[in-house]
Structure 1
Amino acid sequence: MERLQKVIAQAGVTSRRKAEQLIKEGKVKVNGKVVTELGTKVSPNQKIEVNGIPVEREEPVYFLFYKPTGVISSVKDDKGRKTVIDYFGEIEQRVFPVGRLDYDTSGILILTNDGDFANLLMHPRYHVEKVYVAKIEGIPTKETIIKLQKGVQLDDGKTSKAKARILSIDKKKKRAIVELTIHEGKNRQVRRMFDAVGHPVMKLKRERYGFLDLQGLNPGEFRELKPIEVKHLRNKAVT
């Protein structure tokens, strides 16, 4: 038996908070009867409807995916471009990406059918470290690295403190590879941070998400997260 709002969120219908609101508004039915009490618990064989639409309850699944460049972090694309879901054709559950990576950015991405879990990870209070490796134009000075570390002013506000270090320099081609670790998830944040300090990104990869990395995976491959990994991510999100 699980709380009704949790079951709705895990089915990917909406967030748990929004599910609670829908229950209060009388828009949720269990076995054909309207339920408005938030403490209501339901069993796996009970029929749930939200706004008259049956909720398809699936076993929650969690995947770590190595997203290639040139792929959309979305369930579908109106321009007909390849999406991350195209790599999960053999998976019975209807998974979706947690957050996103830009079309031109490769690296680690989590996919699940657990809406409650996804909303926990995407909540602003969840300060998971995301490690990116960027090939940039030009060779940044020590002062530039300090700017990145202290936070950069963007058009939607200043970024939080970050970790930044130069991994390698190509003086002949006037390029550098820099590792940048951030906690936020602003749209195209890493690219905009480097643009702001005068070093446009040529290539970008997210190598780590918290304690997770891409070890053993090639672009386009995925693996199922271990139960202990899911538990650790969930525990970090609620602390």
Structure 2
Amino acid sequence: MKKTVMIVDDQDELRESISTFLQNEGYQTINARNGNEALHLIEEKQNVDIILLDVMMPEKDGYVTLRELRMDKNKTPVIMLTAKTDEIDKLLGLEIGADDYITKPFSLREVVARMKAVLRRTSEEQADDEWIQKADIKINLNTYEVYVNDTRVNLTPTEFKILTTLVEKPGRVYSRLQLMNIAVGEAFVNYERSIDTHVSNLRRKLSELGSSATIQTVYGIGYRLGVEA
């Protein structure tokens, strides 16, 4: 069965160029000129396997569009397309829930290669539900659900990846750079301290639900998960 790609970009020529190339590669395509149009098509239950989402668009930019998708529990893989090259812009997209990030100008063959990699990865992740549990924390690695004392807790994509890493190997110490690399795919040296903010939020959420597990600071190194015996 052909995979369906939604292309969201306000540049008509680029959007049509990508669409034509993907169709020649065996994909079906759905085109949208902005975030509002894309969200409307998705609300109409258009079957989409992956979304190519431009960042800079009128009416509703790519960041806002992606945030609304994820808030609506839509887990369709998203690759951001942007002319922005700053690491902070890439970090923001990944933090919101993007699966990959391609900087303009790009080759269309690179787009196809990145799409195949993302689709392969997400397909493997969705194959079977897989739970991990430590103390009162339960995590579903495929549905991204987290429960503490049997109560659902809402986490950002970055918080989810950090907590999953710590729960999988309690007691192991991870540096900030290691956690940054795990959470967003790259170790951004200038932004490693942002991990502290995510850890602080995680601690608050675990504490509010009375978890016996704690995220401990190992001074001068990083963090580990502590579990009561």
TM-score of Structure 1 vs Structure 2, range by shorter chain:
under 0.3
The structure richer in strand per residue is 1
Larger Rg: 1
The structure richer in helix per residue is 2
With normalisation by structure 1, the TM-score equals 0.21
Report 1 or 2 for greater relative contact order, CA contacts < 8 Å, sequence distance ≥ 6: 1
With normalisation by structure 2, the TM-score equals 0.22
